[in-house]
Structure 1
Amino acid sequence: MAIEDTARRTQQQRRDTAERALVRAAADLVVESGLPSVTLAEVGRRAGYSRGIVTHHFGSKQALIESLVRASQVGFVPGLGTREPGLDRLLDLLEGYLRAVAGIGSLSRAFLVLWAQSVASTELGPVFRERDTLFRADLAGDVEAGQAAGDVRPDVDPEIVAAIVLAELRGLALQYLVAPDSIDTTAAGAALREHWRGSLVAR
């Protein structure tokens, strides 16, 4: 049984390694040439695998792109996943998100490129609506937890705050992607933190 368990773990490790390589290859292609350049054959070639392996792991280009979008958001701001919801977590997210933007790799760059393209794409629209809905819910949850703790003004609308914060974070990230020298992301994160602290803190 131990040998079988080891074999299964090794097989799963190989599968995980292949999937990470394929997703990263797709991200590189998106950053370099946009979504049209992403074909199963080219992703396989770029990652050092065959087209058949890409199909085996993901089934379709759509599924591959959706995996890329979801993978790019995992752990983007380190440490937040273990934090209790509330005002402090929200403020740390604001600053941490923009600090992370300065060091983003191809996965996160691809996410931003695809997010911008999702406005006019029937392929991308559903997955980005899903991701944005989850992000807004997370942000609103921090505001609601802050209100329950008495740290956040009771008269603010958590969903409105969440929508504005999402727009600010993604908008600043896109600006940085287009022209990195135009934005000091550390200073922008600190300014955003202080702005929302002043706007949300219960007096």
Structure 2
Amino acid sequence: MPTHDEDRGDRDPRDVPPRRTQAERRARAETALIAAAARLIAEHGSTGVTLARVGEEAGFSRGLATHYFGSKAALLARLQEAALAEAMAAAAPERSGAGALEELCGFARGCLEGVRNPTDLGRAFVVLGAEALAGASELTVAVAELDASTRQWTAEVVGQGQREGELGAGVDPGAFALAFVGLLKGLVVQAAAAPQAFDVGVAIVESERWIRLALTAG
């Protein structure tokens, strides 16, 4: 009967998966924790969700989420960043250097297409935004920072379009960014409040029409 040592000796080294580095293990764990938090928040809201519960939901120890994120507010901020990244990734095919108009329309499509079959991350994002509007202090700052970063990205896209001659100089990048983020947030909230009455196709068409008009008028 072969020994364990003999078994290992006969094994092709190429069949043995490489050991993950500490950074890879941490990244995988953080991703799992954020996904677990999204599931819980999407179903129950954030008020009753604790870091310990997130750790258990992800299949880890109760203390791992605290060890990685330090506080619930920090975890929620990371979750919102991940939700925005998900929306950006959904729009990625339209953000391949085709120009400012297509980049912004693509981002809007990505956000609104997510309403059709929302992920846990997308649903949690809407819940967190609604709670922040209701005055949940641990979320308000994070939501405001995320809105500000999205407005900054939008203004940069518009500014680049102007420098490249695609867009006229008459558009104020900051003012457009304010309205652009408000438009998308308003539509997503409407979809969350009454999904059966919300026509995603119409919302996409009208959003793109407004974007093009706002950026080319004057």
- Shorter chain as normaliser: what TM range? 0.7 to 0.9
* Bigger radius of gyration: 2
- Per-residue CA deviation, residues 144-202 of structure 1 (Å, 9 max, x unaligned), is 22223333332222211111111111111111112211112122111211122123225
Kept in 2: contact 1:91–1:196 (CA 8 A): yes
Give the equivalent residue in structure 2 for 1:103: 117
State whether structure 2 residue 100 is matched by structure 1 residue 89.
no
* Stretches of structure 1 lacking an aligned partner (at least 5 in a row): 1-5
Give the equivalent residue in structure 2 for 1:122: 137
Kept in 2: contact 1:27–1:107 (CA 8 A): yes
Kept in 2: contact 1:115–1:128 (CA 8 A): yes
Distance in structure 2 (CA, Å) of the matches to 1:98 and 1:158: 22
- Per-residue CA deviation, residues 22-80 of structure 1 (Å, 9 max, x unaligned), is 11111111111111121122112212222122222222222221221111111413315
State whether structure 2 residue 81 is matched by structure 1 residue 66.
no
Give the equivalent residue in structure 2 for 1:78: 91
* Stretches of structure 2 lacking an aligned partner (at least 5 in a row): 1-17
Distance in structure 1 (CA, Å) of the matches to 2:111 and 2:66: 33
Bigger drift between 52-61 and 170-179 goes to 52-61
Say if 1:199 and 1:70 are closer, same or farther in 2 by CA, change over 3 A.
closer
State whether structure 2 residue 207 is matched by structure 1 residue 192.
yes
Kept in 2: contact 1:151–1:201 (CA 8 A): no
Say if 1:12 and 1:199 are closer, same or farther in 2 by CA, change over 3 A.
closer
- Secondary structure of 2:114's counterpart equals helix
Q: Structure 1-normalised TM-score?
A: 0.86
Kept in 1: contact 2:108–2:204 (CA 8 A): yes
Distance in structure 2 (CA, Å) of the matches to 1:59 and 1:134: 23
Kept in 2: contact 1:151–1:202 (CA 8 A): no
Distance in structure 1 (CA, Å) of the matches to 2:69 and 2:213: 46
- Number of matched pairs: 197
Q: Aligned Cα RMSD in Å?
A: 2.1
Write the letter of the residue equivalent to 1:36.
T
Kept in 1: contact 2:151–2:177 (CA 8 A): yes
Distance in structure 2 (CA, Å) of the matches to 1:149 and 1:73: 26
